[in-house]
């Protein structure tokens, strides 16, 4: 699960309690950003871009899972590109021995880590999947504005807000679930 | 039948004076996974179980069991009776 350096901004994340604090703090910040973006949706509609960037940065550099940095190893389970990596063409032609690519396996998720990753994605799907029916109801209401008291603009802002939260969750929730559930790590 | 799987990985590793990292490197897994295996918190795939079996040079059933495993010394010397093994050991000392 873990990358080689298991800390964020110099703070060790070996303890599950510390990791849970980090997850809560990160989601608090993202929630505030989402709230600001939703509140200013009609005047500053492009604020959502920055929220998406923030969620992406969390996934890439704090939680991990996206790319090779952050607390968790890359979910894709692909070797990182280094200078030692052979050129793609050469690798495709199998002109170099495979062992040269696979010497350092620290990037690789083993079978338990892959099972944890898959379980986390399943759990995240349970949450994110709920947004489908909610979006359906909201859009159905927005299509028939005379049947309720809310204006179409309000309905659109609600749909926009839900889509924004959904975007943040899609980028961060599986990694957050792993960080939340994995027990304390003994690096000794 | 539950999903319980017992193993002797910790004992076998200690007998061979291996660290978790040594065993993990040999098997191509994370050293944390060795800890999970030893504590019974994770049941390995058949591939990993066979890799462990090959690494220790023992049959799979000597390492893993669906029933709680007896101490290795008792299994080897005790003939199924730990008290008898202790008595025999005491006699041999006298």
- CATH number where B38 lies: 1.10.260.40
Are residues A185 and B36, on separate chains, in Cβ contact within 8 Å?
no
Shortest Cα distance, chain A CAs vs residue B19, angstroms: 10
In a domain, residue A81? The reply is no
Q: A62 versus A68: which is more confidently predicted?
A: A62
In a domain, residue B74? The reply is no
| Structural domains in chain A (count) | 1
The three-class DSSP label of residue A8 is: strand
- With 0-12 CB in 10 A as exposed, 13-18 as middle and 19+ as buried, what is A120? buried
The average pLDDT across A121-125 equals 95
In a domain, residue A169? The reply is yes
Separation of alpha carbons B33 and B27, rounded Å: 11
The label of the residue with tokens 């049941």 reads B43
Contacting A with CB below 8 Å, chain B residues are 28-30, 32-33, 35-36, 42, 44-45, 47-48
In a domain, residue A130? The reply is yes
Most confident of A42-51, A54-63, A84-93: A54-63
Residues of chain B positioned with their CB less than 8 A from the CB of A2: 30, 32
Ordered alpha helix ranges (H), A16-130: 16-39, 47-57, 88-92, 111-128
Separation of alpha carbons B68 and B56, rounded Å: 20
Are residues B47 and A111, on separate chains, in Cβ contact within 8 Å?
yes
**How many contacts does A have with B, using Cβ atoms within 8 A?**
26
In a domain, residue A86? The reply is no
Residues of chain B positioned with their CB less than 8 A from the CB of A6: none
Among A185, A167, A177, smallest CA distance to A33 is for A167
In a domain, residue B28? The reply is yes
Specify whether the CB–CB gap between A17 and A24 falls below 8 A.
Answer: no
In a domain, residue B73? The reply is no
How distant is the alpha carbon of residue A162 from its chain centre? Answer: 17
In a domain, residue A92? The reply is no
Specify whether the CB–CB gap between A169 and A124 falls below 8 A.
Answer: yes
C-alpha distances (whole Å) from B90 to each of B79, B83, B84, B93 are 16, 11, 10, 5
Specify whether the CB–CB gap between B63 and B56 falls below 8 A.
Answer: yes
DSSP class per residue in A122-155: HHHHHHHTTHHHHHHHHHHHHH-GGGSSS-HHHH
Are residues B29 and A185, on separate chains, in Cβ contact within 8 Å?
no
Q: What would the 3-class secondary structure string for B15-31 be?
A: HCCCCHHHHHHHHCCCH
**Least CA distance to A105: which residue of chain B?**
B28
Specify whether the CB–CB gap between A175 and A65 falls below 8 A.
Answer: yes
Q: Which domain holds residue A172?
A: 7-75+111-181
In a domain, residue B84? The reply is no
**Least CA distance to A14: which residue of chain B?**
B32
In a domain, residue B75? The reply is no
Looking at residue A112, its pLDDT comes to: 93
Q: Which domain holds residue B19?
A: 6-68
In a domain, residue B49? The reply is yes
Looking at residue B82, its pLDDT comes to: 59
Most confident of A5-14, A136-145, B34-43, B77-86: B34-43
How distant is the alpha carbon of residue B43 from its chain centre? Answer: 14
Query: Per residue in B11-56, pLDDT tens?
Result: 999 999 999 999 999 999 988 899 999 998 899 999 999 999 999 9
Q: What are the residues facing A7 on neighbouring strands?
A: A12
The average pLDDT across A108-134 equals 92
The average pLDDT across A88-104 equals 58
Shortest Cα distance, chain B CAs vs residue A110, angstroms: 5
In a domain, residue A188? The reply is no
Tell me the percentage of chain B whose pLDDT exceeds 70.
Answer: 81
Q: Interhelix angle for A111-128 vs B31-39, to 10°? A: 80
In a domain, residue A84? The reply is no
Q: B23 versus A43: which is more confidently predicted?
A: B23
> How large is the ipTM?
0.73
Best of A111, A119, A181, A183 to substitute, by most chain B Cβ atoms within 10 angstroms, is A111
In a domain, residue B35? The reply is yes
A159-171: burial string, b at 16+ Cβ within 10 Å, e else? bbbeebbbbbbeb
Query: Per residue in A166-176, pLDDT tens?
Result: 999 999 999 99
The label of the residue with tokens 């295996």 reads B37
| Structural domains in chain B (count) | 1
Instruction: Among B28, B35, B36, select the one facing A105 at the smallest CB separation.
Output: B28
């Amino acid at each position: 699960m873990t990358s080689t350096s298991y800390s964020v901004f110099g703070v060790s994340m070996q303890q599950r309690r510390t990791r849970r604090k980090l997850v809560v703090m990160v989601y608090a910040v993202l929630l505030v950003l989402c709230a600001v973006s939703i509140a200013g949706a009609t005047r500053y509609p492009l604020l959502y871009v920055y929220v998406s960037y923030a969620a992406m940065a969390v996934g890439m550099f704090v939680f991990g899972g996206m790319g090779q940095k952050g607390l968790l190893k890359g979910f894709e389970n692909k070797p990182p590109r280094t200078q030692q990596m052979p050129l793609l063409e050469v690798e495709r032609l199998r002109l170099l021995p495979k062992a040269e690519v696979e010497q350092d396996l620290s990037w690789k998720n083993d079978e338990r880590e892959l099972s944890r990753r898959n379980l986390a994605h399943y759990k995240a799907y349970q949450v994110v999947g709920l947004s489908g029916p909610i979006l359906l109801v909201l859009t159905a209401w927005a299509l028939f504005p005379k049947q309720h008291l809310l204006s179409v603009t309000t309905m659109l802002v609600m749909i926009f807000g839900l889509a924004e939260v959904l975007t943040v969750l899609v980028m961060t929730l599986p990694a957050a679930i792993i960080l939340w559930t994995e027990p304390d790590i003994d690096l000794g | 039948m539950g999903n319980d799987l017992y193993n002797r990985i910790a004992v076998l590793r200690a007998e061979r004076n291996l660290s978790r990292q040594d065993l993990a490197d040999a098997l191509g897994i994370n050293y944390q996974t060795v800890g999970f295996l030893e504590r019974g918190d994770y049941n390995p795939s058949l591939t990993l179980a066979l890799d462990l079996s090959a690494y220790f040079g023992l049959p799979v059933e000597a390492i893993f069991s669906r029933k709680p495993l007896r101490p290795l010394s008792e299994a080897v010397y005790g003939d199924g009776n730990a008290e008898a093994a202790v008595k025999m050991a005491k006699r041999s000392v006298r």
